[in-house]
Structures are given as C-alpha cells and as structure tokens.
Chains A and B, each alone.
Chain A
C-alpha cells in the first residue's frame, strides 16, 4: 500500500519494487518505477586487483537498499564511485537521470554521503558543522537552522550542540556526520556502515531517522555488516562478492532464488558469497 507524502510516496517492503506513475493514492496498483534514483552500468575499478567488476545496479526512487557482502567485496569502492569520491575506470553512473561523471556538481546537489569513519571538524561545534554543510549545499539559513536544531534534538545531541566535537565519542561523531548528511534534505543518501560504533540506543535513533526519510520519499543506499539491519530495514538487498552483484531482491525473492524458503539472511548470505569465492 503506497502512502503519499506530498509529491513523494513510500511503499511497503513486501512489494519490493515500486512506482510512482502507476501508483494511486488509494493503493492497490502494481508498482513500477517512474525513474531510478541510481543507475550504475558496467562500473569497473581496479587497484592492484579488480575491486569492482562491470557492476550493474539500479535503485529505485524512494527505496531503502542494503548492499551486503564480505570484507573486500567492493561495497565501499562502489559507493565511493557513486558519490564522486573515486573515478571509475569504466562504466556510467546516473543519479536521478543526471550523468554523475559528466555533471558531478548537479549530481552531488541531490545526494549525501556518510562514511563509516565519521569525518567532522574537531574544532567546530555540531551546530557550526551543520551550518557549514548547509552553506556548502547552498541552503538558506532561514531553512537550514531550524532543520539543524531539529536534527540535533532527534539524534540526542541537543545538550552538546555548542560543544566542540573534539571530545565526542565515535557514536556522537557518527551522529553529527549523519545530521550533516540530512541537513540539506538530500534525495539520495549513501551510507557506508553507518551503525559502526553506535550503541543500541543511538543505532535505533539512526535507524528510525533513516526509515523516516525513506517514508518521506528519500532513497537510501547503505552498506552494512549487520545482516539483521538489512533484513529488517531494507526494501531490497544486494549481495556483492568479488566486485560483482551475485544476488539482488527482497528477502523473499532472495530466498526463492536460492531455494531456501526458511533460511535466515545470514545463512543465505554465507551460501551466496562462498559460491564466487569457491569459483
């Protein structure tokens, strides 16, 4: 059942694939994507070995997509290329129809990147950091200031908003970085292991915030090692191994594709990623 939020919509997880064009406010329609939030074609990157191998990936607008895979599978490299932090050796990246390699500035305007290692400025306060990020994205102060205050409150950072970040724990830093990613209201959020170092309460805050964003029509792509998070939060899951997408779909689809109707994602994951390694 699709629920409209302004011009945006959300889709229940079990539908897996969604649309705007065919969606009706009263729901019930079979949904197809009106357009992709992200389209990756033949993406390739080689360091001393092939890190990403002709990867094709399509993520629909308003979708929560989890990218899982073993260490060194190419998850972070893929997302760094999408975010414009790494130049691919070959391939194409399109973000909401914008060619991200030809027009990176326009593509960056609509997306946000959060890395596993929170990179913030020790000598700035959380509020100053958010002011800076909003300034970089050209958001008017009248808009960004209340949003920033709201984000800090919802992430439990309100008492620390005027303290410099130098003494913050990793979890607090991660939350500041996440607030920075959300303050300019991006349409696509790319997160690389965002829950690393967060305590249970903070992790729940972050997951809640991300779900809220997806409900509001934002697209979220996240890599994670915590399969339970992928299982519970993601509309679709992509399994990557040796730089290639080895499986993709909703959890039900993944189970059906692999003929394990009742297996957990963990068992499925192990079965999927050990195949390419064995090959």
Chain B
C-alpha cells in the first residue's frame, strides 16, 4: 500500500469511527432509534431557528461598510463562538490522548506514525468544525433568509474558526503535557476548557457590572469608551466580521490562515502527538497519584457511603471543572449583589434565576454521578444495607453539596433582601430536588467515566432536567416581580416534572 493510499485509508477509518461514535451518542447505541434520532435532530434544528431569529434576526440587514460599534458587536460574537469551539476542541484533544482505545494497534503497526497522527489531528479539526457548523446553521440561515445570500460566507468563517480552534487546542494541550506532565494535564485542560468557554462572556459581564451596574454584556460592547479603544474600521482585527458579511477577500484570507495554522500544527506536533499519547497511556498504567495516610474513620454504614461519595466527587476532574464553570457563571450575579448591596435595585432580581438554574444543573450532574455512576455496583448491592438506605445516602450527598455551594450566596442575598433570599432558597431546593428526582427515576447502571454520555441513556430525562431547571428559575424570578405569574409558572414546571415521572421507567 502506498503512503497516500494508506493515509486516505486511515482517514476513512477515522471518519467512520467518528461517525459511529456520533451516531451512537445520538441514538443511545440503539440502531432502532436512528429514525427517531433523525426526526428529533431535524425538529431541534428547526426549533433552534426561533431563538436564532430572536437573537440575530435584527442584524440581517447590516451592510458593509459597517460602523465601529457594529463591527465590535459582530466581532465579539464571533470571538465568543470561537472560544466555545476552542473549549470543545481542548476537551476533544484531551479525550483522544487519554483514551487508550486503538493506540497499541496504531503504535505497533508498520505505518509512519507522524502521518497517522496528522490524520488524527485533521479528524479532530473536522469534528470540531462539523459540530460548529451544526450549531451555527440556524443562525446563518436566519441571516441568509433575512439579508440575502451574501451571509452564506459565514459558513466559511465557521470553517476557518473550527480549523484554527482545533489547531490551537492541540498546541495548548501538547504544551501543557510538556510543561506540567500527563498527571496534571487532564485536570488542567478540563478546567481550562471550562474557563475559556465561560470566561469571555463573564469578563464582559463583569466589565458591564463594574462600569454600568448591569449584567448585559452588550452594554460594554456598544459603549463609546470601548469604541474609542478599538482599532480603526479598516484594521485586520475586523476581517472575521467583514468575511461573515460576504467580503470574499477577507474570507479567503481567513480560510488560508486557518489551514496554514492547522498545517503548521500537524507538521510541528504530529510526531509529538504520538509521544504525548504514549505518555498519557503510560500515566494511566503507572497511576502515580498518591494520597496521604490517615486512620480509618468510624460511623454508620450510610456515613461510610457518604464519605466515599464525597471523596469521589472531590477527586472527579470533570465535576471540578463543571463546578468551577457554574461558579464562574455565579461571579457576575455575586458581583452585582455586592455592587447593589446598599440599594434594592431591580437588577438584583436577576441573581435569583441564575442561582436557581445553576443549582438545578449542578444537582443533575451530581445526582447522575452518585446514583447512576457507581463504579462498584456489585459491592454496594452485596453490602448489608437496604437499597433504599443506599439511595438515601447518595441523595443526601447531592443535597449537602448543593447546600454547601449555594448557602453562602443565599445568605449574602438575605442581607440585601430577605424575601428574595427566601424565594431563592426555596427555588434552589426545589430545582435541585427536581433534577435529583429525574436522575433517580431514569437511573441506569454506568461507570463514572461515562458521564459525558449520560444524555444518551434518556433524551426525555435530559430535556426534562434542563426544562425543570429553567422552569424553576423562571418561576422564582417571576415570583419576585409578578407573584401570580410566578405561581402559574411554578405549577407548569411542577406539571412537567410530574409528566416526566409518569413516563419514567422506575415508575413501573
């Protein structure tokens, strides 16, 4: 087999694996669900056009040349999308490094490793770009329908962004390996991915709060002072914005830049990619992480279970990064709370839905990890405890963790507005309890490492958990502003949770 044939064969192999992984994720590994998954995906894509229209529809008529303020808003939006892609790409690269999978087979084959890993780098770039295209399509559709075919160039910008995000993610991850070693890279990369994804929005919100006392990030972007510091309208910094609006020269340059960046990363890092993958695999085999010695602790059987769950949660890199991200999202409202501490500003109301939503989301993740993600199910099932006492101990862990995170925020809120604090506390409890209950009703036996795929076991549970968190957040916010509307929203959300229970497998 010639080198080129071998490469194209390996590329086809990688694409087939990526497609099957994605397909399994969409269908939960059941081929019979394929039709339902396609219909669901099309419906979801059609549904996404509604929020896309609401968010971006008003920009469809924009024409070149643009004023500086519009350029800033469009560029910031593109940069935000790019940071999210970068975050996803870092996560993908880390996963490739630490998944041993076919590494032994590849390494022991007579093929040139640098070439094979170049293909693998390209496959990562393609996966990141495909995902970005999937999510950006409704937004670009809205712009094309409202403003004409020139907006189709935005697809090209998404491709360039995907290529560059993947290239930079690979470079960052390999550098992290070299700097801090494989033991710490997985954790640091996950935290970094979470921070990059959330960081830009939060930074804008923090700046808006500090300057204007509002959570809206657009306030700072459209301000005169920001425009004064921004480059001139013909600067290269505005190329992405111009390319998005149909400037073909800017688009070609961006695409070329993306390709050159990815090509350079392939040339420089493909050989190191192999070394890094070996290091990661060797780290997995050596397991050098040590824990300090301390005496055995006594207590009840439930206490033993709770201690085990807390230890595992504390040592879970995914959970730490996700919690950090949730906490990062809480920074702007906390800052807003601090700024408006003296006056009962209306902006303070915004804190409640953010807290409630975060509590619901975090509780859902924690509940999956403790209830479904049991790595030694046989051990727990053969222990002399009733199943109900095991479940109770695990639920207690989720609620204690939520209380530990959200109590300080609610307590701070109580100093500014006791009523709002009471509403927030109640909603946090209900939101966390709902998410936990949904995870309990839809529990499946899985390994903790399968957390990323937890959504595949039940789409209904995934959507119910998301809608319940949103519903309770909206209900709490409305209860503060329009109590009747809040009660109605609360009843609807309770109805949604009840319907979820009705359809849950554990009910039978």
Contact = CB atoms under 8 A, between A and B. Distances in A.
Interface string A134-160: 111110110011001000000000000
Interface in A91-137: 105-106, 108-109, 111-113, 115, 119-125, 127-128, 131-137
A170 B233 CA distance: 62
Nearest to A164: B289
Interface in B420-460: 448-449
A108 B389 CA distance: 15
Q: Which has the most chain B C-beta neighbours within 10 Å: A125, A134, A169?
A: A125
Q: Which has the most chain B C-beta neighbours within 10 Å: A109, A132, A144?
A: A132
B317 to A, nearest CB: 9
Given A105-B385, A109-B384, A119 B304 contact: no
A141 B299 CA distance: 9
A128 B297 CA distance: 10
Given A119-B375, A121-B376, A169-B285, A137 B383 contact: yes
Contacts of B301: 135-138
What band does the interface of chain B fall in when counting residues whose beta carbon is under 8 Å from A? 35 or more
A167 B285 contact: yes
A162 interface: yes
B385 A164 contact: no
Contacts of A135: 297-299, 301, 303-305, 307-308
B189 to A, nearest CB: 17
A133 B379 contact: yes
A112 B376 CA distance: 13
A163 B288 contact: yes
Interface string B300-315: 1101110110011001
Contacts of A166: 284, 287, 289
Interface in B375-392: 375-386
B295 interface: yes
B378 A115 contact: yes
Contacts of B467: none
What band does the interface of chain A fall in when counting residues whose beta carbon is under 8 Å from B? 35 or more
A10 B130 CA distance: 67
Contacts of A37: none
Contacts of A141: 295-298
B306 to A, nearest CB: 10
B376 A140 contact: no
A123 B381 contact: no
A162 B289 CA distance: 8
B381 A84 contact: yes
Contacts of B304: 131-132, 134-136
A121 B312 contact: yes
Contacts of A133: 379, 383
Given A108-B384, A123-B312, 20 more contacts: A83-B382, A85-B381, A105-B386, A113-B378, A115-B378, A119-B376, A120-B376, A121-B376, A125-B290, A131-B296, A134-B296, A135-B303, A135-B305, A137-B383, A145-B295, A145-B296, A163-B288, A164-B287, A164-B289, A166-B284
16 contacts: A84-B381, A106-B384, A108-B384, A113-B379, A119-B377, A119-B378, A122-B449, A124-B311, A125-B290, A131-B296, A136-B304, A136-B305, A162-B293, A164-B289, A164-B291, A169-B285
Top 3 closest A-B pairs, CB basis?
A167-B287, A135-B304, A141-B296
